[in-house]
Structure 1
Amino acid sequence: MSLDGTSDRIKALLTTADAAIKDNQLQKAAEALREASHLDSGDAQVKERWAALQRVDAGSDVVDTLRNYLSGHSDEDGQKVLQALKAKQLPSKDGSQAAELLLTTTSPSPLLDSLTGTLLSRNVEARKLVASNFAEHATELFQQLFERGEESINGLATIPLDDAVWTSKEQQDTAQKDLFRLCVATLIQAGADHLERIMRAIARLLTLAPDTVANLVDEEVLDAILSCLDLRLPASLRSQAILATSKFLEATKQQGEELFSHFITERAAKQTNNDLIIAFSAAAAIFPIIPAVAARLFLIDGFVQQLVPNLERNWDDGAAGMRKSHMLETAALELLSAACVDKACREAIERYCSHWLQNLTDEREGTHKALSALVLAKISADSGESVTSKLEQLVLAGDPEADQAVEGLAYTSLQPKIKEEITSNAKLIQQLTKSLRDRPAAMFGCLTVFANLTAYRPSLSEEQKKMTQLKAYANSEKPAAEDPLDDEAHVTKRCRTLLDAEIVPSLVVCCKQNTSPTSVALIVRILLALAREQKHRSKMAQQGAVKLLLQIKDRITKTDKSTADAATISHDSSHALARILISINPSHVFSSSLPASSAVSALGPLLSQDRSSESRSLLPVFESLLALTNLASLPDPGILDLQLRLCWPDLEDHLLFSPNTLVQRASVELVCNLMASAACVAKFVGDGSKRESARMQIILALADVEDMATRRAAGGALAMLTEWDAAVEKVLEVKSPDGVKTVLKMCGDANEEVRHRGFACLGNIVNAPGEVGIKGVKAVKEKDGMNVVSEALKSTKSREVMEIGVGVLKKIM
């Protein structure tokens, strides 16, 4: 290339690099500059562009672009800065400069809130600068970022909680207190806007720094927080207020409970609609958090007794044209619903309020009808069909009140008669399934209804049944008769109805939206019940149940497994998975994106779980063994090797010796399938351990047990094992039980399949090559093999067995 041509090419490459840098296509710019450097490594303009590219990559251009944006408000520049802040970590100097620019600007630019919040969430140097400014000018900085927007104040709220940005614990504690006081002052201020921002910061401080800020909460502060529980306020504000109150009560215990009690009694004593609404709202929200304290307030002499007359007076005043409050009635109903968590409160509500509640369900519509029906469902375990019918109508209407109606059905659906009524209503089942996907507020209620509909009676042993009867007699009661509508046939039919209504895909969507342990536990319980019936399993797999259960299991494995909820979810998800995998072809379910190894890892723990427990159910163990046996049929040696690593210790230590015939049989069947792996064969003939010879004795002994299916499985394992010369030699060496005698006894078994396996073993023994085969022929002759084989061939109908037998006779004649 000529000099002029080289120069022109370099200019073109520089132009390409400039355009790429401008568009933030750094890889493209680097490629162009690399070629230009190859053409002329000393070119000054090429070096200059390399320096520019390095600045861009390091982040210096972000500061320049930010400065340009703040001065000119170019949307393009603002978006570039925002994307850069989200995509990469700025160097220390640039982070500080960017924070300084954002704090000192008075620009009303639309992206200023997002830029500030993103920078503070991602850059430690920016947080250090803001921390330093906050220590000196807390009020001014707080006001500035609060007015800037939600992301900015959220970013500021994290700084006092970040240990990395403070030089001393004392300085950090001071910042936490300053921020808390500023938030509270804004909360108390009359007419303040954007209270959700403030309450979120308060809740965060009480959650993460309770020892520092909880003692700053006095009566006035708590009044401000509890007033944000008012039903008339946005749900987003109330949810943060509940969290803040919960963390405050958790930190202060008795002192906080006394302040709460004082707040409720003072507000209620004023008897104005506004104060009563706030008191009822706060009590309803806090009832689940401190039920004992809330119940004492609820049961104060005269409160429940006068509640309905006061509410009826409010309604009568409205009917007469005087001022009335619909919200007061709503708040009271919410309080009654929350109070049902306590038994004494339920009894009081039933005694003094049930008639009024029944009238509301007949006369009112909307929220009041739904809430009153919900309370009636809660206070009576035998809620009538009329209440359920009203709840069903509200659910089918699909209005906002449907959420309370679903919660009511969660209570009434405990009754077998109501379970049948709900399941027979196809439109209701469809609506509940739809609500499970589309209405987050109704999700838990829907899951509870479905869990009730699919719940089978617990299987009790004879001893457990006797203990239940004895307890009933001890309490001078007759044992409760079992409702025929809740027997296995009825439950299975209900499960089929839900499966036909596509409940599994709805559970998949639900699990993506809600990861709370309680909800996930219900999802797993429903899947476990659905999978009980063999005919349901293939459809469950088609609808995504296997993948869902593996995802749940994986999520639990990666989180804390020490809690009771986590342990239950882990166990039940594995059990449900086992049930499905028993009855389907695993090659139709698993793929590279959903490997069968994940199922093996999920099922393995069931074999050893709770071995020391006297009440341990063997059903999960048995069904896990069947599922693992099915998985072992896959043409993947890796699956067999994984099963050997995970399952062999349990098989060898206790499962092969289980006193339960079904468990022992399933264990031997699994070993039979594992024998296709050379690693399994090695455990009998090549691992050099002390247990090696004992294993051969065990498998021979299992080939001679009373249970035919176990004999058949053990015989199959021996047939595969004796294809190896070393295994034949081990069989010949075993004297207790006598290896050759056991094989000959299999040949004479009454069952054709066992006989077939016996002859396969015998053929392997006499046809082994070299010295081993000679020993085998001799041993068979010495054990009267000629007569045993001759007699066995007389009763066989299998041509294959006949051919093997004739070959054996020729060898031993």
Structure 2
Amino acid sequence: MLAKSKEHQSFLPDELSYLITAFVPTQEASTRSKAYLVLSAYCQGVRQKSLPAKEEGQTDPGTLSLSKTFAPIVVPHLAEIKEQDVIIGLSFLSALFQVDWQAASVIFQQESIQESLKDILDLGPSDVVSVELAHLLSQAAGHKACRAVIPIECVEWLHKSFRQTKDKSLRAAAAIAVVKLSRGNKADSAEVAEQPEEVQSRADDELVGLMKGLVVDEDRGSIADAVEGLAYLSVDSIVKEALADDSAFLTHLFSVVPHRKNQQTPLSDLHSSLLYGVLIIILNLCVHRPRLSAEDSEIEKLRRMAKGGKGSSTSAQGPAPDALDDDEHVQKRGRKVVQCGALDVVTTAVRFADSEGIRATASKILLNVAEDKENRGKILQSGGAKALIYIIRKSSASPSGSERSPELTTSDLDAIQALAKLAITSSPVQVFGPDSGAIYDSVRPFSLMLTSSSSNLLQRFEAMMALTNISSHSEEAAARVSSAQGLVEKVEFLMLENNTLVRRAATELMCNLLAGSEEIFERYTGTGSSAGTAKSKLHILLALSDVEDTPTRLAASGAMATLTNAPEVARALYELDNEHHRVLRIFTQLLDPTISGVVEEEQDADEDRPEETADPGLVHRGVVCICNFLGNLDAEARKALVEKAETQFLCTALVNVIKSNSQNATVLRPAAESLKILLESGFKIPGFMQ
């Protein structure tokens, strides 16, 4: 009957009567699981057919329709004297909160429901009714509108139930409700008086101790509640430290999840719910504070000042951030949870619990754990890269028939960025395996993160770093990267970025693409695009070969060394030198930035430029650029170069390179060849035999 009802848009009376009884604790787990699916499908169907609310703040038609459907059944059950009827009403409303909290909230706020809850307490509920009531109050306590109407008698009863020690299941369920109420009431209004820190800390210590004890005892009736309670409590930094320092407890907590190597079938609903709670605890322990931009930091400062109000002692800087949540403490906690087996829990979750919420949480955990480079190898060993690849394939970043780039969600970006961190510090084969197809498939998500308007500058930077590593794997990989939609244009734009690290990453990626992709090589030589466009691109690379950041200069001059193999590039550089008188100067500075006459002439433009010494990598790239440049010019252009004053400084630099690299053939050969070309073109070097 359940399977049949799922296909209909509305329930028949007998179907609905059967459904509401499917959530009682005496039902089989498989029956409750199917009932959740049916209820969820029905609620979604009603909402899809309903129009949105006409005015802001107005209850939407879907919620009204659902509440009108279920309220006439829930209300009478809760008003009954028979225990079984009460259990049916409590368990069904709790389930509705989990499936469609808006409709459940409307029903819960009805005055008749509140009266029924007080009547249940007055009649002295049995153990089963008490647990179901605590579960319902726990669900309601998670929503502001419901918290406001929970009868004071129920709140007092929850505290009393939490204090008793006879019934562990009731104690655990009541404890969660107490946690949600205390945390929720503080968040509801800034006017709510907060408890002194020492009082709140003692209460939290007691709750944490209770929850940990229930987990260690492995009480089947309360372990899921205990994990949920710890998920709420572990938001507090003091609780985070206490849990992270208890390695025996963490090991026990992680052991309640079936080990991935021994698990052959999908996890049961109980295990899936439990697993999600464990993941939230892991995330709370290892999550880093958001890194705010300068603008966001100022906004946050103003927000703290406004919250302080007039006459507040809050300084202009606002209260200091919690020291226990700084990067050092988070890193230590992350290493502890990894050591206790958290990564196995994460990979198990992704493999056997097919839930969007679990995938999103797992992505965020792996991203935060991967912040620490020491953890990245362990992530690979635990199958973390495979888990991330699976998550990405299930997301909007997966390949599709549409050519249009999808908008990436925060969850998508978390998974891609976590995988990028692994691909930055390890070889493509270590991350993606020996199958080249898997390496090629990774190009799409990384290129999407690079070009998406949803990504931030750090994510784009890490995407370029990962793509640089991939493009160095093979020419085919470089070709795949270069052909990604919008990628090359984005990289060229970021080559002009003010941020040094971003500009460096963009230049390094372009250097790899030029060396491995024929399409990009032609784009810069003028054979694949107009000569004017290619010339402007060469001008940018030339300028980047002269910036202060040495890694950027290495990448840009390396790209120039590749490009100068083309005669079209040599001619374009010759024209640029005639127009701006910069090519020979920059090439000379690659060999020796201290030669008199080159640096001195540029002191007015950059008086504070520090004294530099020749970098071996720049010297090698410089002599290759010069040799290729001179070798690909025609005789007339070479003779014209001989007449330029800058050529004297270039020759001096070449002579010095030859003298200091007599045993280095890779540098000596192109340097000597360059001097030979200049001498044959009529250049005379004083004291040099011709």
Q: If the length of structure 1 is used for normalisation, what is the TM-score? A: 0.67
Task: Determine if contact 2:280/2:361 at 8 Å carries over to the other structure.
Answer: yes
CA distance in 2, matches of 1:255, 1:629: 54
Asked if 1:407 is matched to 2:202, the reply is: no
CA distance in 1, matches of 2:660, 2:344: 50
Asked if 1:442 is matched to 2:274, the reply is: yes
Decide which of 626, 630, 643 is 1:766's aligned counterpart. Answer: 630
Task: Determine if contact 2:451/2:487 at 8 Å carries over to the other structure.
Answer: no
Task: Determine if contact 1:696/1:734 at 8 Å carries over to the other structure.
Answer: no
Decide which of 162, 178, 182 is 1:376's aligned counterpart. Answer: 178
Q: 1:700 to 1:502 in 2, by over 3 A?
A: same
CA distance in 2, matches of 1:433, 1:563: 39
Hey, what does 1:790 align to over in structure 2? 652
Task: Determine if contact 1:361/1:373 at 8 Å carries over to the other structure.
Answer: yes
Decide which of 193, 209, 214 is 1:394's aligned counterpart. Answer: 214
Structure 1 unaligned blocks of 5 or more: 1-197, 316-324
Asked if 1:600 is matched to 2:462, the reply is: no
Amino acid at match of 1:752: A
Decide which of 517, 539, 544 is 2:378's aligned counterpart. Answer: 539
> 1:273, CA displacement in angstroms?
1.8
Amino acid at match of 1:609: S
Task: Determine if contact 1:765/1:777 at 8 Å carries over to the other structure.
Answer: no
CA distance in 1, matches of 2:429, 2:15: 63
Q: Give 1:545-584 correspondences, 5 Å limit.
A: 545-556=384-395, 557=398, 567-584=409-426
> 1:481, CA displacement in angstroms?
3.5
CA distance in 1, matches of 2:631, 2:528: 25
Q: 1:707 to 1:429 in 2, by over 3 A?
A: same
Amino acid at match of 2:525: V
Amino acid at match of 1:370: A
Amino acid at match of 2:142: V
CA distance in 2, matches of 1:480, 1:350: 36
Asked if 1:416 is matched to 2:237, the reply is: yes
Task: Determine if contact 1:528/1:576 at 8 Å carries over to the other structure.
Answer: yes
Structure showing greater relative contact order (alpha-carbon pairs closer than 8 Å, 6 or more residues apart): 2
Q: 1:593 to 1:730 in 2, by over 3 A?
A: closer
Task: Determine if contact 2:97/2:105 at 8 Å carries over to the other structure.
Answer: yes
> 1:490, CA displacement in angstroms?
0.8
Give the 3-state SS of the residue equivalent to 2:98 in structure 1: coil
Give the 3-state SS of the residue equivalent to 2:147 in structure 1: helix
CA distance in 1, matches of 2:238, 2:636: 74
Decide which of 168, 171, 183 is 1:366's aligned counterpart. Answer: 168
Q: 1:501 to 1:777 in 2, by over 3 A?
A: farther
1:734-777 per-residue CA deviation (whole Å, 9 max, x = no partner) reads 34554333323333332423344222211222344xx5477346
Hey, what does 1:340 align to over in structure 2? 141
Task: Determine if contact 1:719/1:761 at 8 Å carries over to the other structure.
Answer: yes
Amino acid at match of 2:254: T
1:195-222 per-residue CA deviation (whole Å, 9 max, x = no partner) reads xxx222222x23xxx1xxx2x635x653
> 1:778, CA displacement in angstroms?
4.5
Q: 1:295 to 1:505 in 2, by over 3 A?
A: closer
Asked if 1:644 is matched to 2:482, the reply is: yes
Decide which of 668, 675, 678 is 1:809's aligned counterpart. Answer: 675
Hey, what does 1:524 align to over in structure 2? 363
CA distance in 1, matches of 2:113, 2:660: 87
Hey, what does 1:456 align to over in structure 2? 288
Task: Determine if contact 1:703/1:714 at 8 Å carries over to the other structure.
Answer: yes
Asked if 1:586 is matched to 2:448, the reply is: no
CA distance in 1, matches of 2:272, 2:448: 33
Asked if 1:742 is matched to 2:586, the reply is: yes
CA distance in 2, matches of 1:283, 1:678: 61
CA distance in 1, matches of 2:231, 2:449: 31
Hey, what does 1:697 align to over in structure 2? 539
Hey, what does 2:641 align to over in structure 1? 779
CA distance in 2, matches of 1:711, 1:306: 76
Task: Determine if contact 1:629/1:669 at 8 Å carries over to the other structure.
Answer: yes
Task: Determine if contact 1:740/1:779 at 8 Å carries over to the other structure.
Answer: no
Q: 1:627 to 1:330 in 2, by over 3 A?
A: same
Q: 1:580 to 1:430 in 2, by over 3 A?
A: same
> 1:306, CA displacement in angstroms?
7.7
Q: 1:594 to 1:805 in 2, by over 3 A?
A: closer
Q: 1:742 to 1:456 in 2, by over 3 A?
A: same
> 1:268, CA displacement in angstroms?
2.0
CA distance in 2, matches of 1:350, 1:488: 42
Task: Determine if contact 2:491/2:510 at 8 Å carries over to the other structure.
Answer: no
Give the 3-state SS of the residue equivalent to 2:394 in structure 1: helix
Asked if 1:499 is matched to 2:365, the reply is: no
Q: 1:807 to 1:786 in 2, by over 3 A?
A: farther
Hey, what does 2:129 align to over in structure 1? 328
Larger radius of gyration: 1
Asked if 1:515 is matched to 2:357, the reply is: no
CA distance in 1, matches of 2:400, 2:142: 30
Hey, what does 2:521 align to over in structure 1? 681
Decide which of 437, 443, 461 is 1:622's aligned counterpart. Answer: 461
CA distance in 2, matches of 1:350, 1:258: 23
Amino acid at match of 1:281: S
Give the 3-state SS of the residue equivalent to 1:380 in structure 2: helix
Task: Determine if contact 1:669/1:714 at 8 Å carries over to the other structure.
Answer: yes
Amino acid at match of 1:758: G
Hey, what does 2:688 align to over in structure 1? none
Hey, what does 1:284 align to over in structure 2? 94
CA distance in 2, matches of 1:360, 1:791: 86
> 1:527, CA displacement in angstroms?
0.7
Q: 1:388 to 1:350 in 2, by over 3 A?
A: farther
Amino acid at match of 2:587: V
Q: 1:485 to 1:331 in 2, by over 3 A?
A: same
CA distance in 2, matches of 1:581, 1:555: 20
> 1:476, CA displacement in angstroms?
4.4
Larger helix proportion, structure 1 or 2?
1
1:617-647 per-residue CA deviation (whole Å, 9 max, x = no partner) reads 200111111122222332x211111111127
Asked if 1:486 is matched to 2:312, the reply is: no
> 1:572, CA displacement in angstroms?
1.7
Give the 3-state SS of the residue equivalent to 1:458 in structure 2: coil
CA distance in 1, matches of 2:348, 2:84: 41
Q: 1:245 to 1:440 in 2, by over 3 A?
A: closer
> 1:458, CA displacement in angstroms?
0.5
Give the 3-state SS of the residue equivalent to 2:354 in structure 1: coil
Amino acid at match of 1:512: R
Give the 3-state SS of the residue equivalent to 2:495 in structure 1: helix
Task: Determine if contact 1:281/1:335 at 8 Å carries over to the other structure.
Answer: yes
Q: 1:732 to 1:525 in 2, by over 3 A?
A: same
Amino acid at match of 2:448: P
Hey, what does 1:223 align to over in structure 2? 17
CA distance in 2, matches of 1:594, 1:633: 15
1:387-433 per-residue CA deviation (whole Å, 9 max, x = no partner) reads 01111111122231211111111111111111111111112222332
Hey, what does 1:102 align to over in structure 2? none
Q: 1:564 to 1:424 in 2, by over 3 A?
A: farther
Q: 1:462 to 1:797 in 2, by over 3 A?
A: farther
CA distance in 1, matches of 2:230, 2:673: 72
CA distance in 2, matches of 1:560, 1:672: 31
> 1:575, CA displacement in angstroms?
0.8
Q: Give 1:126-205 correspondences, 5 Å limit.
A: 198-203=1-6, 205=7
Amino acid at match of 1:373: A
CA distance in 1, matches of 2:407, 2:105: 27
